Amino acid sequence: MANFYYQIKGRQPAGPNREAEWAWPPVFSGMVEADNRKLAKAQIDELYERQFPQRVLRTDMTDHAYLLHIQELHEHDTYLLRRFEDTACKECGTVFRLIDKYNDPNTETTSHDYCTEACKQAARFRDVQEFRLVNEGRAPAVIYQVRQKSTGRVYVGQTTQPFTLRWWQHVSNPTACKFHSALSSSDITDWEFSVIEVIAYPQDCVNRAAYITQRESHWVEALSAVDAGFNTIRPTGAVDQTQISLPLAGLA
């Protein structure tokens, strides 16, 4: 006995500027067990009570609504075999089969790991939280500067993320601000990024976010980052807490 994977493809009718095609994804995909390919085909025909063609000439396409594709599965076809295996959702443990998702035209997700989009999102959110926790001890909040060597002008910023990530974000995800404009309109070799203070909270510190901003403010003034540099606004005590707590959101 062998396993045979099959796909029933439906015909997509010809349009004004399009020839008839076999539509993707298939209408149905399944697996049957049989001694040989011919018996596998007989099983499928019986299951659907019709004779499916396995080959259709382009000129005959209008005569056929479906096309059957059969392939014998071998041990090494793991990516196909996995579709038929009971899989536990990595978030909630619900058992699903990927093949059922593929066969459901209304499925909300074809994720291999999660039963629903909600589970996928929940897992992603927790990953982000874990990323933050892992890095909290390792990467303390810092005040950094980005300095243009040719002009001596600086941009001062704060971050509670690993500071290399913040640097990367400035370079990779520029906005229209004057800092990013200058950054993207000159050679990267004209810039240096450095940490100028590692935040050490005072014993009696009740509002860490406000303290970081206070230190940032100190450096913005000390380095004339607004008056002569690339900062647009002076940091104020009113810090957006959502920006502090979300590690992947950019801090201005």
The binding site for Zn ion (CB under 5 A) comprises: 89, 91-92, 94, 115, 119
CB of 108 to Zn ion, least distance (A): 12
Cβ proximity to Zn ion, 90 vs 132, nearer residue: 90
Cβ proximity to Zn ion, 94 vs 232, nearer residue: 94
Beta strands 21-22; 28-34: pairing state: unpaired
- Measure the N-to-C terminal CA separation of the chain; round to a whole number of Å: 64
CB of 214 to Zn ion, least distance (A): 44
Cβ proximity to Zn ion, 100 vs 136, nearer residue: 100
Cβ proximity to Zn ion, 42 vs 123, nearer residue: 123
CB of 140 to Zn ion, least distance (A): 36
Q: Return d(Cα 180, Cα 175) in angstroms, integer.
A: 6
CB of 98 to Zn ion, least distance (A): 13
Which DSSP helix (H) or strand (E) runs through 32? strand 28-34
20's tokens: 């008839």
- Residue 6 CB contacts under 8 Å (≥ 6 apart), including other chains: 29, 30, 31, 32, 40, 44, 68, 69, 70, 71
CB of 122 to Zn ion, least distance (A): 8
Query: How does DSSP classify residue 185?
Result: T
Q: What angle do CA 107, 113, 117 make, to 5 degrees?
A: 40
Cβ proximity to Zn ion, 65 vs 89, nearer residue: 89
H helix count then E strand count, the chain: 8, 9
